[in-house]
Structure 1
Amino acid sequence: MDIGAVDHVEFYVGDAQQSAFFLCTAFGFRLCGQAGPETGLPDQRSLLLRQGGISLVLTSALTPEHPAAAYVALHGDGVANIAFEVTDAAKAFETAVERGATVVEELAVHGRDGNEVVTASVLGFGDVAHRFVQRTGDRDDFLPGVMDIFAPDPDEAEQVLSTVDHAAICLPAGQLRDTVAFYEKVFGFSEIFEEFIEVGTQAMDSKVVQSPSGQVTFTLIEPVTDRDPGQIDGFLARHGGAGVQHLALLSDDIVAAVGTLESRGVRFLETPDTYYSELEKRLGSPELKISDLRRTNVLVDQDHWGQVFQIFTQSLHVRRTFFWEVIDRHGARTFGSGNIKALYEAVAREKTTA
């Protein structure tokens, strides 16, 4: 199965216009298109946001029958579909179904002015689906014949984010191994990293799976049930089952990106000063100045290939479930061994002080 990068991520939300306003104002996304009753979709409103190579689709239900209505009622706003670029959507769809995937959306062909997009979806984890997307012609015509595309915005905000780096996914206890096996069997992913994380009396298991192209990466996390309940258990309870805890967006300059995003109103998790005081003992000299990392609360870790710099936003979700990550890779292909624990501790601090 020839899976390339993440084509787009679709969120089901209660109010697409309100969500788009926040993402455009705070994160610098640009509103590029819309679909709804006027384009032949009577039961939904979808807005397309773009920045760099990132495409987000925000979909709100206009009738109780649309799946976004049930999703938002169960989970609140959240990720409903992580779409994959493929060279042959029909073949990818057929192969996935033959390997045991459940059909969510049948094969569909959309065309206009010589541009064509072929799509089909199968179920991934929980109730989150994966859409295979095959594009021919002008890629800016996101869904030809279905979505109206707007003219470029002459006052486009500075773009500090480039691509979707990975998604972090919380799973109920006991589902981690089966989910890894499912992605290996159905989509041809490989396990590239694993870690058992202990924080006080809490613990969780984490495994990372990645597509053969290296462009689609999922961090899968489950709680350990013989320890005290922790933030993963909290996510599962508040979200109502498995789901995307955060999306990581790649930046080429994380220090500058944090400054820009904070100036627009984005708020990030804070890191204790002791983290930076002990940093050189743990990792040696990082490639970015420790003073800059301390000032911006950016975390740093390393693997065999290089260093990775990360920071996580505070959650603005009403249930305190979904949040965003900004990541900057200096050669690192995975996540090192310290930042997941640091994130776990930072999120725990935020919840106790909220």
Structure 2
Amino acid sequence: MAASARRLCHIAFQVPVGQPLARNLQRLFGFQPVAAREADGWRQLALRSGDAVFLVNEGSGPKEPLYGLDPRHAVPSATNLCFDVADSGTAAQALAGRGCHIPVPPVTVRDAQGAATYAVVSSPAGNLSLTLLERADYRGPFLPGFEPVSSVPGPGWVSHVDHLTLACNPGSSSTLMRWFQDCLGFRHLPLSPGEDPELGLEVAVGPGRGGLRLTALRSCPEGVVPTLVLAESLPGATSGPDQVEQFLVRHRGPGLQHVGLYTPNIVEAAEGVAVAGGQLLTPPEAYYQQPGRDRQILAAGQEPSLLARRGILLDGDKDKFLLQIFTKSLFAEDTFFLELIQRQGATGFGQGNIRALWQSVQEQGAGGPEA
């Protein structure tokens, strides 16, 4: 293990000038701006909801955006995951010793609130880079070099990032898994009993529809890092490209497909997003008409009509349930979406829900929210 990721600091996005991501995160999902920076051709805005922080890098400049890397990617994209580490210099040196490319060597940034040192390492997951950040004594609202932004408190729909899902090329999950294990100290998290880490969890969607392979990873026990999920298509689809295949084409390669945001009250959050104008995927009508579905929803302490009205998926039994709802793409290129997730004792991702999402996306297609 070359470095140990202790906490997710933020997720960075790179968009062209005028792209409405930052505005939509505020207006549709309740994120609030906390700090901003304008320099070197970049406008960088950090937005927060609970412990979930997104950094939107807008523009393109002659220098790298602070705390990240400009990959010059063809479409708007989630481009960077920033992790807190104990010693960024030592971590970068160890990763370089493993053959990793370090496009931004360790650099220290200071302001009146303290200092932070960071380095950026290229990952094998397409255009996604990783920032290794050391900021133990920093006292500001975000990071050195950013100015605080005043804003009114948000609705509090989201408390933290639950998981990060990378769309991968076919057959690449095991290679990516080993890289995150060897370089950042992640370990395999079985999603089913006796799961082979080389095979992951295989979810067959149906005849002619192919399916999905999921491989989950978690950080060291002392870390506070979201689960990392590697997703790749299974062979066998004859009805056209699925969501993962479409992402690989539209995104021009692998990358961060979606972020799962934890909400303590998914009904309230879904209602709030919908009222604000956010576009949510709705599962097939037959999903709520399956035998025993009402009984399952009631056992989870939920109201069937409320879940059906907003398209909230539920999976699980006894006292372990998982509730999920997915947005349409936040980019016109259909390359990134959000998930709202509420866990009631469940730790997985719901195989039945995966099939329902798969079918709903295939039937409806993905579209970005209104600007």
TM-score, scaled to structure 1? 0.88
Equivalent position SS for 2:356: helix
Output one character per residue of 1:69-89: Cα deviation in whole Å (capped at 9) or x when no partner. Answer: 721xx2x21110011122322
Equivalent position of 1:210 in the other structure: 218
Output one character per residue of 1:73-107: Cα deviation in whole Å (capped at 9) or x when no partner. Answer: x2x21110011122322233233333343213211
Equivalent position of 1:29 in the other structure: 31
Please identify which structure carries the higher helix content. 1
Q: How does 1:183-194 map to 2 (within 5 A)?
A: 183-192=180-189, 193=191, 194=200
| % same residue | 26
- Segments of 5+ residues of structure 2 without an aligned counterpart are 192-199
Equivalent position of 1:2 in the other structure: 4
Q: Counterparts of 1:109 and 1:332 in 2: how far apart (Å)?
A: 41
Q: How does 1:143-154 map to 2 (within 5 A)?
A: 143-144=143-144, 146-150=145-149, 152-153=150-151
1:85 matched to 2:84? The reply is yes
What displacement does 1:235 show?
1.2
Q: Counterparts of 2:339 and 2:157 in 1: how far apart (Å)?
A: 13
Q: Counterparts of 1:86 and 1:244 in 2: how far apart (Å)?
A: 21
Is the CA contact 1:248–1:325 (under 8 Å) kept in the aligned structure 2? yes
Equivalent position of 1:170 in the other structure: 167
Output one character per residue of 1:190-234: Cα deviation in whole Å (capped at 9) or x when no partner. Answer: 121332122331223221111123622111111234543322111
Q: Counterparts of 2:318 and 2:97 in 1: how far apart (Å)?
A: 37
Aligned to 2:267, which of 255, 278, 290? 255
What displacement does 1:7 show?
0.6
Task: Name whichever of 339-348 and 303-312 sits farther off.
Answer: 303-312
Task: Name whichever of 195-204 and 27-36 sits farther off.
Answer: 195-204
Output one character per residue of 1:328-354: Cα deviation in whole Å (capped at 9) or x when no partner. Answer: 111222213222222211211122999
- 1:302–1:214 Cα change, 3 Å: farther
Is the CA contact 2:12–2:79 (under 8 Å) kept in the aligned structure 1? yes
Q: How does 1:45-64 map to 2 (within 5 A)?
A: 45-63=43-61
Output one character per residue of 1:260-289: Cα deviation in whole Å (capped at 9) or x when no partner. Answer: 111111111012232123263698433423
Q: Output the aligned Cα RMSD.
A: 2.5
Q: Counterparts of 1:99 and 1:283 in 2: how far apart (Å)?
A: 53
1:351 matched to 2:365? The reply is yes
The amino acid of 1:81's aligned partner reads N
Is the CA contact 1:299–1:311 (under 8 Å) kept in the aligned structure 2? yes
What displacement does 1:170 show?
0.7
- 1:127–1:332 Cα change, 3 Å: same
Aligned to 1:158, which of 155, 158, 162? 155
Q: How does 1:98-247 map to 2 (within 5 A)?
A: 98-124=97-123, 125-144=125-144, 146-150=145-149, 152-153=150-151, 155-192=152-189, 193=191, 194-199=200-205, 200-201=207-208, 202-212=210-220, 213=223, 215-228=225-238, 229-247=241-259
Is the CA contact 1:16–1:45 (under 8 Å) kept in the aligned structure 2? no
- 1:169–1:353 Cα change, 3 Å: closer
Q: Counterparts of 2:159 and 2:93 in 1: how far apart (Å)?
A: 31
Q: Counterparts of 2:6 and 2:291 in 1: how far apart (Å)?
A: 36
Equivalent position SS for 1:328: strand
The amino acid of 2:230's aligned partner reads L
Task: Name whichever of 80-89 and 247-256 sits farther off.
Answer: 80-89
The amino acid of 2:51's aligned partner reads G
Output one character per residue of 1:172-199: Cα deviation in whole Å (capped at 9) or x when no partner. Answer: 1121111111111111111213321223
Equivalent position SS for 2:20: helix
The amino acid of 2:122's aligned partner reads L
Equivalent position of 1:94 in the other structure: 93
Q: How does 1:264-343 map to 2 (within 5 A)?
A: 264-278=276-290, 280=292, 284=296, 285-302=299-316, 306-343=320-357
Q: Counterparts of 1:349 and 1:182 in 2: how far apart (Å)?
A: 35
What displacement does 1:169 show?
1.1
Is the CA contact 1:203–1:224 (under 8 Å) kept in the aligned structure 2? yes
Equivalent position SS for 1:314: coil
The amino acid of 2:87's aligned partner reads D
The amino acid of 1:203's aligned partner reads G
Q: Counterparts of 1:51 and 1:216 in 2: how far apart (Å)?
A: 15
The amino acid of 1:160's aligned partner reads W
Is the CA contact 1:16–1:59 (under 8 Å) kept in the aligned structure 2? no
